[in-house]
Amino acid sequence: MEALVARLRFPFYSIAKRSYQIRPSHLLPSPSALKGALAKGIILLREDKGEKMDEIAEKTLKELNSKLLYVGAKPYKSIVVKSPILLKRLRTLESSSGPEKSDAMRREYTFSREILAIYVFRELTEEEKTLYLKATYLIDQLGDTESLGSVVEAQWVEVKKGTYPLNTYLPLSKIRISVSGIIDAMLESPSFTKEEKEVPYVLPLSEREYKRTIYYEEKPIQGISSNHYLEVFGEVVGLWI
C-alpha cells in the first residue's frame, strides 16, 4: 500500500452538508470533501469531453472509490478554531436586468494553518500515480466556494504495518470497543442523489479553552492504537485501515 499525502494550507474553510442560510462546519475536512477535491483535479487534467459534468464527476469518483482504502485528515502543527461569520454575497449573475441582489448568510468557518490530507490506495500503475499526484496540486477549494487555499507539497509514501498512536480520524463502525474523543458525523463520499448517509467519526482532537475562546489541538484517539503508519513531512501518522 502507498499513500498520497498533501500538505494543505487553507487558512479557513467551511465544510458541511448542503444548506442555505445557516451552516455549521466540520472541524476537519470530511472524506467526501477530500475525495471531491482530488476528483476535480483529475477531471481537469484528463479534459474528458462528450459527457455532462455530473456524469464525469460521478464516473471519476466511482473510479477513486474502487481504488481507495482510506481517506482522512489531521492538523499539521496547528490548532483548530471554529468561529461564526456573517457572509454577504452579491448575486449579479442571476439576471441581466433588475436591481442587484445580495444574500447575508451566517456560516461557521474553521481556522487552521495547515492540514494533512491522506489518501491510501490499493496497487496503482505508475501512470495513475503520476496523474493523482499532479491532480493533488490542483486542489484549491475545500467545502464552499469561499474556502480557498493551496497545496504546499505532496508526495507518495509507503504505508507500513505497525502500532502507533492513532492521530487520524476513524469511523466508529470499524471498531467494537469503547473509545473517547470528539465525534463528528461526516459524509464519506460526495452524493449524487438526495439520500446522504452520514457516518460518525472519532476525531484526533481535544477541546481546550482560553479565556472565552474554544479551540482544538491534536490528541491521539484514546483507547485504540493504529494498525498502520506512515512517515511524512517530519511526522509519524498513525492510521486504522
Band (71; pLDDT cuts 50, 70, 90): very high
**Strand runs (DSSP E) across 123-226, as ranges?**
150-158, 160-161, 170-171, 182-187, 198-203, 205-210, 213-218
| 123, three cell numbers | 496497487
For CA atoms 237, 15, 58, 169, give the dihedral sign. positive
First to last CA, the chain: 11
Per-domain boundaries in the chain: 2-87+104-239
pLDDT on residue 93: 56
Is pTM beyond 0.75? Reply is yes
pLDDT on residue 23: 74
Band (195; pLDDT cuts 50, 70, 90): low
pLDDT on residue 189: 85
Question: Is the CB of residue 154 less than 8 Å from the CB of residue 42?
Answer: no
Torsion, Cα of 50, 54, 60, 64 (10° steps): -170
User: What mean pLDDT, rounded, does the chain reach?
Assistant: 86
Given a cut of 70, is residue 157 above it in pLDDT? yes
pLDDT on residue 39: 94
Band (57; pLDDT cuts 50, 70, 90): confident
pLDDT (mean) for 160-169 = 94
SS3 call for 143: strand
Mention the CATH class of domain 2-87+104-239: alpha beta
Measured CA to CA in angstroms, residue 38 lies from 47, 61, 188 at distances of 14, 9, 14
